[in-house]
Chains A and B, each alone.
Chain A
């Protein structure tokens, strides 16, 4: 009788099965609907504009390249029109796109944890059965994947839109702002900015300071990459032949990263355009590793955070 009425000894090793991940999908969607709609939505809206404007750009460019003789007044008018209207628009969007990952990091990444900490709702979220570690992993991963996927699709469209300007405006695909917005780079930078924001939010626990640090951190990382890192992804080739590095720039031109003299002979170090994809994989690769590390650090802080 005594044995029957004794309370069962709870067994510590009988850890309950973790709740399924898909439950967090709804939670993440419901709580971050604004982010999950506005980031792809904004990209889609700009995308629609790019399709409409891009068809005109491609048409203008086709007319321009078909124009003979090129020195005629008519062709020159077409040429200057293309430069003044189409290129002004494209250049403006290109500059804004450089800021897009930073803004996504600040507005989508930084508030995720900072808002929970700032408003005190983490005391609710972290004491439910789901467990804060899996909660943080699920939340950050879901949003990161959506945001990076949206950026990735967008950059495909942007690559198509921008193609005519490479030749016309003397740009190579290795030029800083061109390289950044195509291939794997744009999605990788967006992902990195997002994870910088998430970590800053967790560290600073306040939305506005976290946003500021995210913008600063992203810009610092971009400058570092432009000035010091990217040119060294692969050992530069060296040539004394001005024919390889000289002439008018175009989509297939190499990226000259250094120049000097050996005695009276000039030399140039450069990255040939054939290295576009290898360099894209290197940049996408290290940014992906960095993003995973930043998410891991954020989750670790969520786990360890001493209230």
Chain B
């Protein structure tokens, strides 16, 4: 089952497209990192997925074909917006009671046990909790709904490293115990590298990468060799990115496997997720969206290196 499927999805605010021509199919069971610079369209994509925003173009379906925002979709998706929106004047206890009343499913025992573990007192007002506790409360309230898909918009942005780790532990536990799929947007690439097993990369309102992290890492590598030959091989191998030093150059290229031939005098290295993300962000013309083939037929022409950085 695909937890999210979009076809030609677009959203325009005034004259500007916040997201355009986004077609992707996100399979269930992943911890998906949604990354991209500010204004790339991450929040727009999330808002349309949870039904808060209406698409200008295209469609978005969730949980195996339900229209976004429909009753079945609302039942199965829990969303935590940026900065963990909570009713600040309500005590934690009433935040739970409120959510219980507004939902078909609510696991009160789970919520209370988790808050007790975290040392968050039920009587304290949500607005008086620390930033980390507020994020944990919003997450607990969301998970107690027993969603099939959990969508978190920049949940780590306001947290210190310790709170981030606690937060992600909770998310991972829910994935293991309940089989929740998670879509999480973040700037914190380094942390996601260890955790995320699926990557969606947006840049300037366009989908650039959507694939399993392992596949992405296996299908890309860095070639290091003499700078003088860089241009030739960059063109020949359709390099996503070229970095030049005094004598050596590094080419990020797509590879079909480890057995791909290496040009004489060059060395191949594996690539880290962060390197890969940065390379695609710097080369907005490039895309690596193999899962597209599942959603709809795509143009089969090879990916071209349209931009080369110096």
Contacts and interface: CB of A to CB of B under 8 A. Distances in A.
Do A and B pair up? The answer is yes
Interface of A: 7, 9-10, 12, 14-16, 18-19, 23-24, 26-27, 30-31, 119-131, 135, 304, 306-307
Interface in B1-34: 1
A19 B105 CA distance: 11
A130 B101 CA distance: 8
B92 interface: no
A124 B85 contact: yes
Contact of A10 (B65, B88, B90, B103): B65
A30 B93 CA distance: 12
B90 A12 contact: no
A131 B74 contact: yes
A121 B85 contact: yes
Given A16-B72, A127-B52, A129-B103, A120 B1 contact: no
Interface extent on B, as a size class? 35 or more
Nearest to A22: B101
B131 interface: no
A100 B151 CA distance: 44
Interface of B: 1, 47, 50-54, 63-67, 70-72, 74-75, 77-79, 81-83, 85-88, 90, 94, 97-99, 101-105, 138, 145
Contacts of B77: 127
A122 B86 CA distance: 9
Contact of B52 (A9, A126, A130): A126
A120 B85 contact: yes
B101 A127 contact: no
Contacts of B97: 26, 30
Contacts of B86: 121, 124
Nearest to A130: B102
Contacts of A12: 65-67, 70, 72
A9 B64 contact: yes
A27 B101 contact: yes
B72 A27 contact: no
Nearest to A124: B85
Nearest to B81: A123
Given A9-B64, A26-B101, A123-B52, A129 B85 contact: no
14 contacts: A7-B1, A16-B75, A16-B104, A18-B71, A31-B87, A122-B52, A122-B85, A126-B52, A127-B78, A129-B103, A131-B74, A304-B54, A306-B53, A307-B53
Nearest to B106: A129
Nearest to B50: A127
Contacts of A129: 71, 74-75, 102-105, 145
Contacts of A7: 1, 64
A30 B94 contact: yes
Given A7-B1, A19-B102, A24-B101, A127 B71 contact: no
B103 A131 contact: no
